[in-house]
A and B are shown apart, each in its own frame.
Chain A
Amino acid sequence: MTAILVDGVVYASWIFLVSVGLTLVFGVLRILNIAHGSLYAVGAYTGAWLVVRYFQPGMPLALSFALLLAGALIAGLVLGPLIERLLLRFTYGRDEVMQLLVTYALFLILGDLTKLIWGVNPYYAYAPYSMLGNVSIGNVPYPRYDLVLIGLAATVGIGLWLMTNRTRFGRLMTAVIGDREISTALGINVPLVCTVAFTIGTVLAALGGAFTAPTISVVPGIDVTVIVLSFAVVVIGGLGSLEGAALGSLIVGIARAIAVHRFPDLDLVTIYVVMVIVLIFRPQGLFGRAEVKRL
């Protein structure tokens, strides 16, 4: 039971980190970004590459974390504005399908681009993971790194909440989310808000990737799985909702942990079944708002 809970929370933290950027971007830009997984992969590559390049045994652990963070920031700050300004900008107000497919094309392009930059051979950045060691919970060892992930997810979650609710930019963002036209009329620089929001989303995707990098072998193909996974989480929680993403992650995390411990065969299907069930009872997701048209 404890094991299920611990595993569930660990997985929930990871999946929240990976998917929260997607929901933020959807909230502001109204675009469901299929290339989100690619941005995750780029973050993983950049982070892993920095660790491999600059981190030597014997250096302080904190440095490796700084490198991962730097990787996420570099990847996000370079790609975010670039993609938003050069590509997404042309799709605002266009058909939803079209926006979806523009990001799908981006997903194809970024996939090969990562391959061109980093090659096909894996990058390993497990130093931070193994250096942290283990902690025993109920006789079963867990990596301390998982606790870092939980902490990071909580930090990101709270940080985003504070940003949305306590800062000027957060209020601007909320206004743009609420009504783009009125915001423009009020003199809000909507394009700038969009660029910044997308960049934050990209940094978050890259952050998810960078902090996953120490636990995996960073190879081509890690982007695809993350896409559907984050779709599921974000849809379950309600598109555009921060609280939703948090709760959605938790539900998916616990459901998966139950499956792994009790019905290991069904691990694969759990997430989609949860998604279908939630959507049947809450078509807009747990925290989504239904839109009613006024006549």
Chain B
Amino acid sequence: MLDNVTKIFKSGKKTTTAVKNLTLRVPDKTFLGLLGPSGCGKTTTLRIMAGLEKPTSGRVYFDGVDVTAMDASKRNVAMIFQFPALYPTLSVYDNIAIALRTKLSPGEIRKEVLGVAEFIGISDYLKTNVSKLDVNLRQKVAIAKVMVRDPSVFILDEPLTVVEPKVRNELRSKLKEIQLKLGKSMIYVSHDQTEVLTLADKVAVMNNGEILQYDTPENLYNKPRDTFVAWFIGYPSMNFIECEPIRKGDRLYLSTASGSMYDVSHIPDVEKLLEGHKKLVLGIRPEHIFVAREGVKAKCVKVERFGSMKIFHLEVDGTTIKAKMQSINLTVGDTVQIDFHRDKIILFDAESGKSLF
């Protein structure tokens, strides 16, 4: 558990604040995802948790015990690095077994290592020296090294970025199995949301050293707190349409610059939500758009098809939005009327980017 941790790196004159008073509670036995673009401070946060980096201010607690000053070696933590950190001259077997030398008898070590190697699928490489393996196998060995130990927490720093796409899927399900099997809390850092959303029970989305939202994947998906989180979660990313609230009769509409109107009066106490916000942004996910008898005119400009998954790029009032529709078959050039699932619309204040709930 991190309690308003700040980390400021001083290199020469310019000081970069990697982490700005960040508070993060990691309940036991949960799989926490730390998601954010490169350089948002997620790796620094991870290193502070692991004890490899000292925070400039703020405290770090493990089960209530203040470990801020405690060195990484005493925190019983296991970590996988972005580039597999293996001891170059040792064989795969020794690399995995080395951490157990002090704890288990040789017989037990052998059993453990063989079991883990079998599980990850590197049993026939046990004898070869790690420097001869390619990066995919090396990362598998790094995972095996971590599994063999029995740490209080697993820390993974973008373990799958360096690996081939095909092996990435294989390792993703392996990591999920590991988490279920060992039931330990895991902290997983990545900029690739597919990995984090599949593995994590709770996810913290970070940007510029701050946590923007800390919630379950479903809530992040359905109730993003601001435009950044909304944009960052979900593939393809959410569409944003600038608009202004206009009252016509007893119905309340959001009209875009080019005049198309969206009826939003159904949203509960929408009146109260909207006052005080002149300019708004309407957010709608591509999978929540459908073709309706009457709605907003849209011309299809591009189609991305992948077997059953189809993504249509539709031009609406001059801006291109993406729609993910299964049963429809549009070709470039068709114009069609589209509408949005009313309950899936999310409104954001244009200036602050904060969502209105």
| A associates with B | no
